[in-house]
Structure 1
Amino acid sequence: MHVVLLPFGSAGDVFPFLWLGRQLKAQGHQVTLIVACVFEEIVRKAGLEVIPVGTQADFDRFIADPRVWKLYQGTKMVFELAAESTGPIHAVIESLVEKGRRPDLLMAACTVFGARLAREKYGIPLVTVHVQPAVMISAYEIPILLPGMQHLRKLPLWLRKKLVRMPNPADRFGGRAIHAACAAHGVPPPKSVWWDWGNSPDGVLVLFPSWFAQPQPDWPANTLQWDFPLEDIARERPLSDEVLQFLDAGDKPIVFTPGSANIQARRFFEVALAAITSLDRRAIFATRDLGQLPPNLPASVLAVEYAPFSTLIPHAAAFVHHGGIGTLSQGFAAGVPQLIMAMAHDQPDNAYRLEQTGAGLGLIPLTFTPRRVRSALHRLLTEPDFLEAARRCKALIQKRPCVSELMRWLETRKLL
């Protein structure tokens, strides 16, 4: 069958779809990714067909806005951009249909509203793909989207059910543009963008395991829960000789990254340098923008623009990052204690879940200071409970389900 994959976001959001594309192609299916142009080369190197959308300038302008990493403001920006992309994304799918390449199945992130519009207009089956638990809004396990929200879980269930149904960002920030796109194509608009279009009636695939996020009674009935994809293009971009030589030259380093799309991380790295200097530890700083690093880094710190975490983190003593789900899962797979500086989006929820496993600690930007980071790292490196918990998570990840079961489930979606 012809499967069209539609991720939305940065590398941590795109790589799971790349993994899905690899698995589908291995089963003999035709796969097309409709993805932001900045990922075009990566997808082509993976041997998959790609239709790039947007421009490099658009992507750079979005990630250059400091609001994207702020609580509430970042969510607002994401839903506004997602809603504005509804028409253009739908146009790409419509073009495939008009060229005689009608997809048999669409698989899209919940924020790719153009895919849902195409489902409603053409009747193409759609599977919604969730890569992080925070978007599985549940009254039984309210996601931790803001500091302190964990206390809401102590409220009576009836009250939690009312809270999760309160006005949501998808409707508030994206509703108008989505309704306009529906009107342009003669499709009845959703009464609620989130509750009517957030999960496809044809199937919902969640790419995180039950030991990390237990299924809840109010999850969609047609949900299949799988495992972390753990895709990081290590096949196409192995560790460089520079990194390998650094790893061989001394003790295990602490790896720091603020996220693949974060170019607002100058303070993150300043704090990191101060912390590892006081601990007398080696470190690797990974960032797409080396210009945001402190000047004159010591020889004990290696700066890289990219390194695949699946092959790098097993050599690390600890892993400090922003809490993106893809990054977090690589830390679990490596069995390494982690420290998260959660900023926005799903990151606070991921940090909370990390702490629940016992395999790491979480901070917020306000508390991400040299003293706090040094103290947290000292605990991660010296208290055996953290390493033991991290190794338990690694053992759980190694018990991965057979991917053929996932492929069979996806093939049945075509028949709906």
Structure 2
Amino acid sequence: MHILLLPFGSAGDVFPFIWLGRHLMARGHRVTMITACLFEDQARRAGLNFVSLGEKEEFEAMIRDPRIWKLGIGTKVVFEFAAKSVEPYLAAIESCGKVDLMLAPVTAFGARLAREKHGIPLITVHLQPAVFLSVHETPLLHPAMRVLRAMPVWFKRALFSLPNPVDLFALPKVRRICEVNGVKPPRSLWREWWDSPDGVLALFPEWFAAPQPDWPTNLLQWTFPLEDLAKEQPLSTELQIFLAAGEKPVVFTPGSANVQASRFFAVAAQAVAQVGCRAVFVTREPKQVPPSLPDNILTVEYAPFSTLLKQASVFVHHGGIGTMSQAFAAGVPQLIMHMAHDQPDNANRVERLGAGISLSVRQFTSKRVADELKRLLGQTAMREAAAKCADRISKAPDMDVLMRWIEERIRR
């Protein structure tokens, strides 16, 4: 069968689809990925066919928009970009010839349009529990939602019946594109297009987010897809030498798509100096890192976390779901500086598991980070909680069950 994968976003959004692609190809299916051209090399290294979506400059413009990491505002930027991508997605899908199944996140609205226009089965893939706006366990998308969580179910149900931000930011453009393509436009993207009728796949385990009564009934909940191309991209020689030369370092990363992290690394360098530990800074743009760092700090552009974190003492990051799950798998305590999108909710769940500490951008100061690092390095409780998470992940479910469930959507 010919299966299309249509991720939307940064490496943390794309790598899980590469993980799915590897397993689908092992079952004998032909797999094509359609996403930003920035990820063509990674997809082809994994053996996937690839169709480029748009120009590199378009994706770079989105991640370089200073609003992208602002709480609340960043969501607007993402959904506006998602709406602009509907027609390129649809054109790319239609260029692939016969397609038997699509797997895509909710933000790939072009995939849902292709389902309605051509009748191609679609599985909606949710990578984080924050996308389930449940009245029973409401995600923490904003600090103010801590108050909302305590409200009765009837109040939240009434509140969620009001216009949703995704409809305000993306629906008008999506409706116009639907009309051009002869497809009945949805009245609400959130209520009608959020979850595909053909199947919904949640790629996170129940111990991280338990299923709720108002989640979709056609859902399969799995575990974290721990894909980071470690087979294709081993640790650099320089990094291996650094790791072997002393105690386990603290690893810092603001996320693969974050090119506005100068303050993050400035604070990190100051905190490392106060603690007196070793550190590895991971960033796609090393120019964000302060110049003339001491020998106890090494900067690298990329390192597979599944390999690197096994040799780390603490992991300091932004709270992206892919990055966080690699920390769980390695059993490393986490210090999270959450900014926007699903990050506050992910960070809150890490804290509830006792496996890490959550800080806002404002709280992320050199003194606070140094104090929390000392706490994480010296406290056994969080290390034990992190090790428990690693043990849970190691008990992976039978992949054959997931593959057969996906293949059943094809037959339907």
TM-score (structure 1 length as normaliser): 0.98
Residues 331-410 of structure 1 aligned to structure 2 (within 5 Å): 331-410=327-406
Greater shift in the superposed pair: 405-414 or 85-94: 85-94
Counterpart among 323, 327, 330 of residue 327 in structure 1: 323
1:10 equivalent in structure 2:
10
2:280 equivalent in structure 1:
284
SS in structure 2 opposite 1:414? helix
Deviations 1:325-346 (A, max 9, x none): 0000000000000000000000
Counterpart among 200, 204, 217 of residue 204 in structure 1: 200
C-alpha separation in 1, matches of 2:243 and 2:161? 50
8 Å CA contact 1:203–1:413 kept in 2: the answer is yes
- Aligned letter for 1:41? D
- Aligned letter for 2:203? L
Residues 12-411 of structure 1 aligned to structure 2 (within 5 Å): 12-96=12-96, 101-411=97-407
Greater shift in the superposed pair: 260-269 or 153-162: 153-162
C-alpha separation in 1, matches of 2:109 and 2:187? 14
Deviations 1:158-179 (A, max 9, x none): 1111222322121000011100
Deviations 1:223-251 (A, max 9, x none): 00000001001111011111110000000
8 Å CA contact 2:54–2:88 kept in 1: the answer is no
8 Å CA contact 2:62–2:81 kept in 1: the answer is no
Deviation at 1:95, TM superposition (A): 2.1
C-alpha separation in 2, matches of 1:350 and 1:265? 20
% of aligned pairs identical?
58
SS in structure 1 opposite 2:142? coil
C-alpha separation in 1, matches of 2:56 and 2:94? 23
C-alpha separation in 2, matches of 1:252 and 1:85? 43
Q: How many pairs are equivalent?
A: 412
C-alpha separation in 1, matches of 2:99 and 2:272? 51
Deviation at 1:403, TM superposition (A): 0.7
Deviation at 1:39, TM superposition (A): 0.2
- Aligned letter for 2:207? W
Greater shift in the superposed pair: 51-60 or 301-310: 51-60
C-alpha separation in 2, matches of 1:193 and 1:41? 32
C-alpha separation in 1, matches of 2:201 and 2:401? 13
Deviation at 1:383, TM superposition (A): 1.2
- Aligned letter for 2:297? V
Computed over aligned residues only, the root mean square deviation of the Cα atoms, in angstroms, reads: 0.8
Deviation at 1:371, TM superposition (A): 1.0
5+ residue gaps, structure 1 = none
Deviation at 1:193, TM superposition (A): 0.7
Deviation at 1:87, TM superposition (A): 1.2
SS in structure 2 opposite 1:59? helix
- Aligned letter for 1:240? S
- Aligned letter for 2:36? A
Deviations 1:237-288 (A, max 9, x none): 0111111100000000000000001011000001001111000000000000
C-alpha separation in 2, matches of 1:213 and 1:245? 38
SS in structure 2 opposite 1:373? helix
C-alpha separation in 2, matches of 1:162 and 1:375? 42
8 Å CA contact 1:86–1:113 kept in 2: the answer is yes
Greater shift in the superposed pair: 139-148 or 263-272: 139-148
Deviations 1:25-71 (A, max 9, x none): 00111100001000001111111100011111112211111110001
Q: Which runs of 4+ in 1 moved over 4 A?
A: none
C-alpha separation in 2, matches of 1:397 and 1:283? 26
Deviation at 1:208, TM superposition (A): 0.3
8 Å CA contact 1:138–1:164 kept in 2: the answer is no
Deviation at 1:150, TM superposition (A): 2.4
SS in structure 1 opposite 2:232? coil
C-alpha separation in 1, matches of 2:159 and 2:136? 11
